[in-house]
Amino acid sequence: MNIIIVGCGKIGSTILESLVEEGHNVVGIDNDEKVIEEITNTHDVMAVCGNGADYDMLKEAGVENTEMFIAVTSSDELNMLSCYVAKKMGAKHTIARIRNPEYNLNSLGFLKQQLDLSMAINPESLAAVEMFNILKLPSAVKIQTFSQRNFEIIEMILKEGSPIARLKLMELRNKFKAKFLICAVQRGEDVYIPSGNFQLMPGDKIGLTASPSEVQKLMRALKVDKKQAKDIMILGGSRIAYYLAKMLTASGNGVKIIEKDHEKCEELSESLDKAVIIEGDGAQQELLLEEGLTSLDAFVALTGMDEENILVSIFASSQNVPTVISKVNRNELSSMAARLGLDCIISPKKTVSDVLVRYARALENSRGSNVETLYNIMDDKAEVLEFNVRSDFKQVNIPLRDLTLKPNILIAGIIRDRKPIIPAGDDMIMKNDKVIVVVTSDQRLNDLSDIIK
């Protein structure tokens, strides 16, 4: 698929890298020559330096043959204008990054209609939603949902003393009544799609699938059912902090935001009447302790500096705050933070990249693929895909134990009439089902039949 990306900063370059890995033909446009040079040196793509809303520039980039046009510069208005011009010049699907909170749902809907936008993406809002979901289930480090939230995949870290540590997977169903399936395990740098003989160990990151009600039952059985975070401190008055605080206060949570910039504090006070805004330097441990850090349910680090987020999060963890979430955008710092013991790390640029990879796969549906939903898990070393079972799938009504799957592929769930099924050997795939498949990221699946050897 031919794709143009306007704006190749932190978010744009991450999107570009992900879409190149998917096998798409990508052209990057940015007005910074150094950025263009870096992109062309790093990736096998064409890149041009200039204004992404300029007619001649878009013509040179081949916009008339573009199926997906993505504008993610730092200016919402330039993104919208670029998409408008690209659409008029023949781009089939246009996506604009629009992140200003002043563009509320009503104005966004109007703009999408008038500009004929396929999608408006807001990295900060998407990251806030991801954090909000974790705060509702604090034992998890990542939560992804399928099929109108009827099915979930949860990533969590096995701690020393966990009831399932050192057990083989085949022993779990007899030991626990909850209906769940461990479908992926990350141990160090390696990711496994485990068989029944696989033995879990403390420190493993596991991916498990279940319905939301079964997840709660399992967390109680594993004795990791932390209460939902009620009192939350947010470090940094960023846009993500605004969106997250708005969701949390609407749900009845107590929210305290610490921000050192006076003007930002005033803006947050005006827009978040139910949150407490503290003007001060959150890197000062004394201030955090004075503001009740040790009595919190959760701490979320959202400053503009990855390093500060990591260091203050480590301090919050040392004060036994039950749930600590850190925003870290740089890949090398994310892995370092994980090694330092921070379990829950959110990257807005990665969140947006995943959304656009899913959108690109969805566009391919009309060209033969039947992937409905796609998520990257286990630090991008595995994928979870949701397939629609179409009439041409030949392996229907066959017990799963009789199917010969390719290596490192697991059928993790079946959704039938909106009811989730954790599959066993006797279960079968039937027409009109939705099937959840887990696969290592070195394999590319476009159709459910691709899982069969």
d(CA 335, CA 339): 6
Residue type, 192: Y
CB environment 94-106: b (16+ within 10 A), e (fewer): bbbbbbeeebeee
C-alpha to C-alpha distance for 201 and 205, rounded to whole angstroms = 9
pLDDT of residue 409: 94
pLDDT, tens only, 111-152: 888 889 999 999 999 999 999 988 988 788 888 887 666 788
* Residue 418: band (very low, low, confident or very high) from pLDDT cuts 50, 70, 90: confident
- Using the predicted structure, report yes or no on whether residue 368 has a pLDDT greater than 60: no
For the domain spanning 2-121, the CATH number is: 3.40.50.720
Q: What is the pLDDT of residues 308-318, one digit of tens each?
A: 999 999 999 99
* Contact (Cβ atoms closer than 8 angstroms) between residue 405 and residue 399: no
Kind and range of the H or E element at 97?
strand 93-97
Give me the architecture of the 351-451 domain, per CATH: 2-Layer Sandwich (3.30)
- The strand pair at 93-97 and 68-71 is best described as parallel
The contacts of residue 382 (CB under 8 Å, 6+ apart) are: 184, 191, 193, 207, 376, 438, 439, 440, 441
Average pLDDT over residues 87-104: 89
The answer to whether the CB of 107 falls within 8 A of the CB of 187 is no
Structure-token pair, residue 20 = 């190149």
Residues 6+ apart with CB under 8 A from 438: 183, 184, 193, 207, 209, 377, 382, 383, 384, 409, 410, 412
**Global pTM value:** 0.83
Close Cβ partners of 311 (under 8 Å, ≥ 6 residues apart): 283
Instruction: Give me the pLDDT at residue 225, please.
Output: 62
* The predicted structure's pLDDT at residue 105: 63
> Looking up tokens 């919208």, which residue turns up?
80
Question: How many CA atoms within 13 Å lie on the side-chain side of 360?
Answer: 28
* Least-confidence region, from 181-190, 221-230, 287-296: 221-230
Q: Does position 36 have pLDDT exceeding 90, yes or no? A: yes
Query: What's the confidence (pLDDT) of residue 424?
Result: 87
C-alpha dihedral sign at 253, 256, 257, 263: positive
pLDDT score at 367: 56
Burial class (CB in 10 A: 0-12, 13-18, 19+), 431: exposed
Q: Which residues share a beta bridge with 155?
A: 142, 207
For residue 178, which of 159, 164, 195, 167 has the smallest C-alpha distance? Answer: 164
Task: Report pLDDT for 78.
Answer: 95
Question: Is the dihedral angle over the CA atoms 326, 331, 333, 337 positive or is it negative?
Answer: positive
- Please give the class, per CATH, of domain 231-321: alpha beta
Other CB atoms within 10 A of residue 157 CB = 19
From residue 380, alpha-carbon distances to 42, 49, 234, 304, 436 in Å are 19, 30, 27, 24, 17
Q: Which of 97, 76, 71, 73 is nearest to 86 (CA)?
A: 71
Top pLDDT among 303 and 44 is at 303
Surface-to-core class of residue 213, CB atoms within 10 Å of its CB (0-12 exposed, 13-18 middle, 19+ buried) = exposed
313 or 442, which is more confident: 313
Taking residues 166-185, what's their average pLDDT? 85
What pLDDT score does 99 carry? 87
Q: Which residue has the higher pLDDT, 211 or 173?
A: 211
Instruction: Give domain limits for the chain.
Output: 2-121, 231-321, 351-451
- Minimum mean pLDDT range among 148-157, 204-213, 357-366: 357-366
pLDDT value for 104:
65
pLDDT for the residue numbered 109: 79
**Position 369 pLDDT exceeds 60:** no
Would you call 453 exposed, middle or buried from its count of C-beta atoms within 10 A (0-12, 13-18, 19+)?
exposed
Mean pLDDT in the chain?
A: 89
pLDDT score of 226: 64
Assess whether pLDDT exceeds 90 at residue 429: yes
The per-residue pLDDT for range 56-71, each reduced to its tens digit, is 999 999 999 999 999 9
Give the H/E segment covering residue 175.
helix 172-175
Average the pLDDT over 300-309 and give the result: 95
Half-sphere exposure in the Cβ direction for 431 (13 Å, CA): 4
**Are both 2-121 and 231-321 of the same fold?**
yes
